[in-house]
Structure 1
Amino acid sequence: MKNKVICIIDDDPIYQLLINKIIAMSKTEYDVISFKNGKEALESFSETLKENKKLPEIILLDIEMPIMDGWDFMNQIEKSLAEKTKKTAIYIVSSSIAYEDKEKAKTFPEIMGYFSKPIDSNKILEITKHITKS
């Protein structure tokens, strides 16, 4: 197991499979964990913190998901885990190309970027290199 973790929060199982393969082919030093919605991710993060373990270094977050969408996830992070997620870089990865979504993403200081699906291995390498330098 590797030390660093990329978390995928996306309800599309095909996209999750694809992004896992892209990350593996990118030969980064990251393990991948995946969740189908923001609620599952938050519950897991709460357990992780209770066990005094660290949160993922990178989160790739979809916007449109059932149960808890990306925006609700971000609101909950700000309310309950803001101090704990300071070292976590969050990137929106969405099929939405709406101007409003891109502008809304800018209102969250934790969001480091907004990318349209699908992202490729070059983008994964760019994200992971940026985090390594931080």
Structure 2
Amino acid sequence: MNKVKNVCIVDDDELFQFVMRQHFERLDLVERVQKFTDGEQALQFIKSHLDHPDELPDLILLDVNMPYMDGWQFLAEFVRLTIPAGKHIRVYILTSSTHESDLQRAREFPSLSGYLVKPIGKNMIRELLVGAEQL
């Protein structure tokens, strides 16, 4: 399996970010992991790299509950972006929320690749990376 070039973790929990980064490093399937503590930071990064598709993430793991710009606000803005032709970015909600209202809201974003509940293990991470690599 080839490595996924760019993975973006958008989560205000720095311990979770650290654990996910450790998983990625141990699996040795990702070239670069970028971490953002709120959706606004991640969105600004993506907007500033639209002219450089190789710098854009291949996979985004997005928390729902964050300060400043939460996951829902990020998604509302993200779906309006014009991603360069040939570049596909998979976005997964990765949250501790199991509220039905959040699950229903996720269905409002057809471009969302999935809704996963924390914690996830190495096997699930591997599956996400294999899916991102196949694009």
- Using the size of structure 1 for normalisation, the TM-score is 0.89
Query: Where in structure 2 are the equivalents of 1:1-134 lying within 5 Å?
Result: 4-50=5-51, 52-54=52-54, 55-79=56-80, 81-84=81-84, 87-134=88-135
Structure 1 letter corresponding to 2:9: I
Q: Report Cα offsets for 1:43-69 as digits up to 9, x if no partner.
A: 11122124x243100000000000000
- Structure 1 residue runs of 4 or more that deviate by more than 6 Å after TM superposition: none
- How far apart in 1 are the matches of 2:95 and 2:76? 17
* Amino acid of the structure 2 residue aligned with 1:13: E
The SS at the match of 2:28 is coil
Once the two structures are TM-superposed, the CA of residue 3 in structure 1 deviates from its matched residue by 6.3
1:116 positional shift: 0.8
Question: Counterpart amino acid of 2:32?
Answer: D
Counterparts of 2:121 and 2:134, CA distance in 1: 20
CA RMSD of aligned residues (A): 1.8
Structure 2 unaligned spans of 5+: none
Q: What is the CA–CA distance in structure 2 between the aligned matches of 1:84 and 1:107, rounded to whole Å?
A: 23
Q: Percent identity?
A: 34
TM-score (norm 2): 0.88
- Which consecutive unaligned segments of at least 5 residues does structure 1 have? none
